[in-house]
A and B are shown apart, each in its own frame.
Chain A
Amino acid sequence: MEEIQGDAHELYARTAAKNKRLADWTFVWNVIRFFRWKNISKRTINPPVMIKSYLVVGFRNAIRNGMTSFINVAGLTLGVAGSMTVFIFADQFFHTDSEKENLDRVFEVTNIINRANQRVTLSDTPILLGPAMQDDNPAIEVSTRIEAGSGYVRYNDLVFNEKIWYVDPSFFRVFTFQFEEGDDRALASRKNVVIAKPVAVRYFGFDEAVGKALSIKFNNNRTEEFTVAGVIDPPAGNTLHFNILLSMDVFFDLKLKDQYDWSYLTDATFLLLKEGHQIEEVMPGMERYKKFQNESSPEWMIEEFKFYSFADLTSEGYKIESYMAGPGPAQGVIALLIISTLLLLLACFNYMKISVATIATRLKENGIRKVIGSNKREIMVQFVTENILMCAISIALGLLISYLLFMPGLVSLLGYEVPFAFSSGWSMTCFFVALLVAVVLFSGVYPAVYVSRFQPVTILKGKEKFGQKNLFSRGLLTAQFTLAFTTIVGCFVFIDNAYYLQNKDWGYDHHQHLVVPVNSTEQFLKLRDAASSRKSILSFAGSTTHMGYWCPRASFEQGGQKIEVLPLRVGFDYLETMGLRLTQGRFFDKTIQSDRVESVIVNEKFVTAMGWANPVGQTFEYDGFRRNVIGVVKDFHYQDFYQAILPVLFTIDNDYNFRYLVMKVEGGQVNQTGDWLRETWKKIAPDDPYEGILQDDAFINFNKNNRMEIKFLSFVTGMALLLACLGLFGLVSYNITRKLKEFSLRKIFGATASQIFRIMNRDYVWILSVAFLVGAPAGYFLIDVLIRITYVDPQPAGVQPFLVAIGLVFATVFFTVATQLKRVLRENPSTTLRSE
C-alpha cells in the first residue's frame, strides 16, 4: 500500500508544479484506477494446504484431549439429534396433505355462530350449500360434502362398527388420492364403496379387495350390499381420516330425516375453484345463503360464512370446531420446538465453554504461530475450521441417533407413524444450513475470536492469565444451569400434576364395572334378563346416556339466564350401580310413581348454578315439565380432566330408549364375566359386533396422553440434566488439570481431601445458587400458566418439584466434581510438580 501511495504522491507533486488543477484530476483518476481486486484483497498463502494442516492439527488435538472432545461431540450430538427429530416432526405437522394436487384451489366453507357471546367457527354447513354454490357461481369448478356416520360392516363372519363418510363423487376431484386398487370413478355408482387400506386388510387380508361385496347395516337398521370399487392407502401426511367412503346418494336414501333442507347441517363442505379464480369472487354471493339458512333454522343463527384455504388448515384448522381435515391444534408442536431449541442451545453453550477452556492448553501453539507470521484472521480460520469439523461430525452422528433412537421413540410415544423425511428439499436445505450456521456461530466462532486476540508476547512469556476470572465462561455456566433448572422444575411441576390427575378420584366407582352398548330395546331386554341370572353381576341398570361415553349437553332458561347443563337420562338403580355419592336427599325409587316423570337428582355444581341453599324439594321448569329435586350427588367426572364439570341433572328414562346396560361385577370376576357377556351377545344379536367396554377405560385417551406427557417430559428433563452435567464435567476437569499444581502444593502442605473439595466447589456452588434462584421460579411460573390453560382443575404445585430439582442437580454436580476429586487425590504431587 505504501508504495502505491508514494507513487501517487510523486506523480501529483510533479504535475502540480506545472498545473494544480490538472494534478488534482490526475490524482483522483489514478487513485480510482488503483482500485483493483489484487490491491484490495490480502495476499494469502495457498489456502488448501493450510486447511489440510489445520484439520490435522485439530484432529491431533481432539485425540489428545480424548475425554473433553468426547463430551463436546456427545453433547452436541444429543442436542442436534433432539432438535432434528422435533424439527422433522413439526415439519411434517405443518406440511400435511402436501401430496395432494390443487391444494391452493381447495377451500373449506365454515359457519360462524355466536355461542354465549363467543364467535365459534364450525365446519358444519347446510347440506344444500355446496351444490347451490356450485350451480350459482362460475368460479367454482366443483364442490364436495362430507357427511360422517357409522354402521356395522360385515364380510362373511367379520363384523365391525366402522366410521362411514358419505361424500359426493367429486370428492376425488377435490382431493387427489393415489388409488391402490380401482380409480377415482369408483364412487360414480351408488352401489360402490371405497375403503382405506387398513380396512381392506382387516376384512380381506392381503387379497384383492376390488369386486368383493360388503354388507353394511346402517343406524336405521337397514342393511344393504355394496361392491368394493377402490382401495386407497392414505399417505403419511393425509389428514382426511376416512375408513369407508360411500356415495352421498346412499345417505339421502337412508331417510334419517323427513327432508333435507337448509336447516340440515352436513359435517363439511369443500370447494374446488377453477384455475385462475380467487375465493374473493365467491364471497359476495354468500349473503343469500345466509338468509336461506337463518330463515330455515331460526334457533341456529349464523353470523357469516368463512372460507379457509386448505393450505391454511394446517396452521388454522384447530380454530374450526369439529374439524374434518387438518392436523389439529399446534400448541403442543410449538412447545416441542421451543424445548428442542433450548436443548440445542444448552448443547451449544457446552461446546462453546469447553472449546474456550481447551484452547488454554494451546496458547503456546498460537503464540508461536503468530510469531512466525500468522495474522489474527488465519488463526481464526484455523479454529473455525476445527470447529466446523467437530460440528459436522456431531451433526452426522446426531442424524444417526435421531434416525435410530429418537424418532422411533417419538413414534412409539405418539402411536402413529412419522416418516423420517423432510416435506421438501427446500425445508431440508434450510434446516441443515440453519443448523450448521447456528451451531458453528454459537459454538465455534466465539472461541476462535477469543483466542485470536491474544498478544504473542504475553502468551510466550506465560503471562496470559487465562480463564481464571473469566466472567463470560461463568456467565455461560450460570445461564446453562438456569436453563436446566427451568426445564427440570417445569417438567417436575407438570409430571407431578399428571400423576395427580392419573390417580384422581372420578367421583364415582369405576373399577369392576362393565358397560355394553345395545342397538335396540329387544337386545337390551334380552341382555338384561341374561345378566340378572348371572351370579357374578352384583347389580345392573339401563341408561340412555352414559357418563364417560355419551353425555350430550343441553341448555335451559332459568330466570332469564341460559344455563348449560348435562341432562343424563338413566334407568332405576343406575346411580347406585355406578356408586355415585349422595350428599342430600335420596336416590330414585321404583315404587314412587312421580320419580318416573318429575323427580331429578342433581350434582353440587347444579346447586351452585341455581343458587339454592336447600336444594332438596326445590322445583324448576325443564324440557316442558316441572322438576322436583329429590337428591344431590357429589360432583363427578363424566368426561376427562381437560373439561370443567357442568351442572348435571339425572332423570329417569323409559326402558325402550336405553342404549347401555351397565353392570357392577364381583371383584376378580371382571374378565370371566366379560367373556361370558361376549358369548351371550353372540346368541342375542348375531349380526352386531360386541362392543362391551370397561368403565375403567372411559378416560383411556386421557390417560394415554397423560402417560405420554410424563414419559416425554422425563426424557426432556434427563436430557437437560445430562447436557448441563456434561458441560460441567468438561469444565471442572479442565480447571482441575490447570490447577493440578496448586492442588499438589496444597497437598504437600497438608490440605485434606475435604479442604480441596471445598476449594474445588466454591465457584460452582455460587453459580448453581444463582441459577436456581433465577431458573426455578421461571420454570414454575411458565408451567403453572400452561397447566392452568390446559386443565380445568389442576393440583396446586407444592415444594416437591423444587426439592427434587435441587436434589437432582446438586447430586449430579456433586458426583461430577467428586469423580474429578478422586483424580486429584490419587495424583502423586511429585509427578505433577516435577518440571519438564
Chain B
Amino acid sequence: MKGTNLGELEELVLLTVGILYPDAYGVAVMDEIEKQARRSLNISAVHAVLTRLEEKGLLKSKMSDPTDERGGRRKRIFLLTALGKRALEEANEMRTQLFNQIPKVALQFRIA
C-alpha cells in the first residue's frame, strides 16, 4: 500500500465526492471543483486522482445504471469509505489544530 497521507488535490477531490453524495462521478466532480474552488481541471486528472484514492481505500466505486445520456454508457459512482471519512476528519482536525496554534498577533493586520 502506498502512503495514506493526502495530497492537496486528493483532499479536494475527496471532499467533493463527499459533497456530491450519492452522485459523485468524474464529470460531476470536475464541475463541482470548478464551481466551488475555481480550479479548472482536465477530466483525465480527475480520473487519475479518483483511481488513486480508490487504490488507497479511501473511496469505493460502483457502476450506475445506464441512462440515455452519455451514449448509453454507465457512470462510475464514487462513495466515501469509512477510511476516507476518517482521513477527511483527520485532515480537517489537523488544520484546525494548526490554525488555532497561530498566535493572535500574527493575524492582526493593520494598514500602517
B79: shortest Cβ distance to chain A, in Å? 14
Residue B86, interface by CB 8 Å = no
A344: shortest Cβ distance to chain B, in Å? 46
Residue A691, interface by CB 8 Å = no
Residue B38, interface by CB 8 Å = no
- The contact of A10 among B44, B51, B70, B76, by CB within 8 Å, is B70
Residue A240, interface by CB 8 Å = no
Q: Is the CB of B69 within 8 A of A3?
A: no
Q: Among residues 24 to 70 in chain B, which have CB atoms less than 8 Å away from a CB atom of chain A?
A: 25-27, 42-45, 47-48, 51, 63, 69-70
Residue A11, interface by CB 8 Å = yes
Q: Is the CB of A36 within 8 A of B48?
A: yes
For residue A29, which residues in chain B have a CB less than 8 angstroms away from its CB? 42
CA distance A3 to B61 in the complex (A): 11
Residue A5, interface by CB 8 Å = yes
For residue B51, which residues in chain A have a CB less than 8 angstroms away from its CB? 38
Q: Is the CB of A3 within 8 A of B44?
A: no
Contact with B along A460-491 (1 / 0, CB 8 A): 00000000000000000000000000000000
Residue A34, interface by CB 8 Å = yes
For residue B42, which residues in chain A have a CB less than 8 angstroms away from its CB? 29-30, 33
CA distance A10 to B70 in the complex (A): 5
7 contacting pairs across A/B (C-beta < 8 A): A3-B26, A3-B63, A5-B73, A6-B73, A7-B26, A7-B43, A34-B43
Q: Which of B44, B51, B74, B75 has the most CB of A within 10 A?
A: B44
- The contact of A4 among B45, B47, B63, B69, by CB within 8 Å, is B47
Residue B3, interface by CB 8 Å = no
A36-B44 contact, Cβ under 8 Å, with A3-B25, A9-B70, A11-B27: yes
Q: Is the CB of A3 within 8 A of B48?
A: no
Q: Is the CB of B71 within 8 A of A3?
A: no
CA distance A786 to B73 in the complex (A): 71
Using CB atoms and an 8 Å cutoff, list the residues of chain A in contact with chain B.
2-11, 13, 29-30, 33-34, 36, 38-39
Query: Given known contacts A3-B25, A7-B75, what 10 new A-B pairs fall within 8 Å (CB)?
Result: A2-B63, A2-B73, A3-B47, A6-B75, A7-B43, A10-B69, A30-B42, A30-B43, A34-B44, A38-B51
Q: Is the CB of A7 within 8 A of B25?
A: yes
B77: shortest Cβ distance to chain A, in Å? 9
8 shortest A-B CB distances, which residue pairs? A6-B73, A3-B76, A33-B44, A7-B26, A6-B70, A34-B44, A9-B70, A7-B27
A516: shortest Cβ distance to chain B, in Å? 91
Q: Is the CB of B75 within 8 A of A3?
A: yes
A750: shortest Cβ distance to chain B, in Å? 62
A26: shortest Cβ distance to chain B, in Å? 9
CA distance A503 to B65 in the complex (A): 91
A806: shortest Cβ distance to chain B, in Å? 66
B65: shortest Cβ distance to chain A, in Å? 12
- The contact of B43 among A2, A11, A13, A38, by CB within 8 Å, is A11
Q: Is the CB of A34 within 8 A of B73?
A: no
Total A-B pairs, Cβ < 8 A: 57
For residue B48, which residues in chain A have a CB less than 8 angstroms away from its CB? 36, 38
How many residues of B are counted as interface, with CB atoms below 8 angstroms from the partner's CB atoms?
18
For residue B73, which residues in chain A have a CB less than 8 angstroms away from its CB? 2-3, 5-6, 9
CA distance A2 to B72 in the complex (A): 10
Main secondary structure of the interface of A (DSSP, over half): helix
Q: Is the CB of B74 within 8 A of A3?
A: yes
CA distance A834 to B46 in the complex (A): 62
CA distance A29 to B51 in the complex (A): 20
Q: Is the CB of A6 within 8 A of B71?
A: yes
For residue A8, which residues in chain B have a CB less than 8 angstroms away from its CB? 43
A220: shortest Cβ distance to chain B, in Å? 90
For residue A7, which residues in chain B have a CB less than 8 angstroms away from its CB? 25-27, 43, 47, 70, 75
CA distance A13 to B27 in the complex (A): 12
Q: Which of A2, A7, A30, A34 has the most CB of B within 10 A?
A: A7
Q: Among residues 6 to 34 in chain B, which have CB atoms less than 8 Å away from a CB atom of chain A?
A: 25-27
A38 to chain B: closest residue by CB? B51
B108: shortest Cβ distance to chain A, in Å? 45
CA distance A36 to B71 in the complex (A): 23
Q: Is the CB of B63 within 8 A of A30?
A: no
CA distance A7 to B76 in the complex (A): 9
For residue B75, which residues in chain A have a CB less than 8 angstroms away from its CB? 3, 6-7
A312: shortest Cβ distance to chain B, in Å? 58
B12: shortest Cβ distance to chain A, in Å? 18
B72 to chain A: closest residue by CB? A6
For residue A3, which residues in chain B have a CB less than 8 angstroms away from its CB? 25-26, 47, 63, 73-76
CA distance A8 to B44 in the complex (A): 9
CA distance A4 to B27 in the complex (A): 10
Q: Which of A10, A11, A33, A39 has the most CB of B within 10 A?
A: A10
A33-B43 contact, Cβ under 8 Å, with A3-B63, A38-B48, A38-B51: yes
Q: Among residues 70 to 90 in chain B, which have CB atoms less than 8 Å away from a CB atom of chain A?
A: 70-71, 73-76
Q: Is the CB of B74 within 8 A of A34?
A: no
A370: shortest Cβ distance to chain B, in Å? 22
B27: shortest Cβ distance to chain A, in Å? 5
For residue B76, which residues in chain A have a CB less than 8 angstroms away from its CB? 2-3
CA distance A10 to B25 in the complex (A): 12
For residue B47, which residues in chain A have a CB less than 8 angstroms away from its CB? 3-4, 7, 34, 39
CA distance A13 to B42 in the complex (A): 16
CA distance A11 to B43 in the complex (A): 9
B46 to chain A: closest residue by CB? A7
For residue A4, which residues in chain B have a CB less than 8 angstroms away from its CB? 26, 47
CA distance A5 to B66 in the complex (A): 13
For residue A5, which residues in chain B have a CB less than 8 angstroms away from its CB? 70-71, 73
- The contact of B74 among A6, A33, A36, by CB within 8 Å, is A6
CA distance A477 to B86 in the complex (A): 64
For residue A10, which residues in chain B have a CB less than 8 angstroms away from its CB? 27, 69-70
B45 to chain A: closest residue by CB? A33
A8 to chain B: closest residue by CB? B43
B42 to chain A: closest residue by CB? A33
A3 to chain B: closest residue by CB? B76
B44 to chain A: closest residue by CB? A33
A310: shortest Cβ distance to chain B, in Å? 60
A33: shortest Cβ distance to chain B, in Å? 4
CA distance A336 to B73 in the complex (A): 64
For residue A30, which residues in chain B have a CB less than 8 angstroms away from its CB? 42-44
CA distance A515 to B27 in the complex (A): 105
CA distance A30 to B46 in the complex (A): 11
B67: shortest Cβ distance to chain A, in Å? 10
CA distance A38 to B52 in the complex (A): 10
For residue B43, which residues in chain A have a CB less than 8 angstroms away from its CB? 7-8, 11, 30, 33-34
Q: Which of B47, B51, B75 has the most CB of A within 10 A?
A: B47
Q: Which of A3, A11, A29 has the most CB of B within 10 A?
A: A3
CA distance A433 to B27 in the complex (A): 50
For residue A33, which residues in chain B have a CB less than 8 angstroms away from its CB? 42-45
For residue B25, which residues in chain A have a CB less than 8 angstroms away from its CB? 3, 7
For residue B74, which residues in chain A have a CB less than 8 angstroms away from its CB? 2-3, 6
For residue B63, which residues in chain A have a CB less than 8 angstroms away from its CB? 2-3
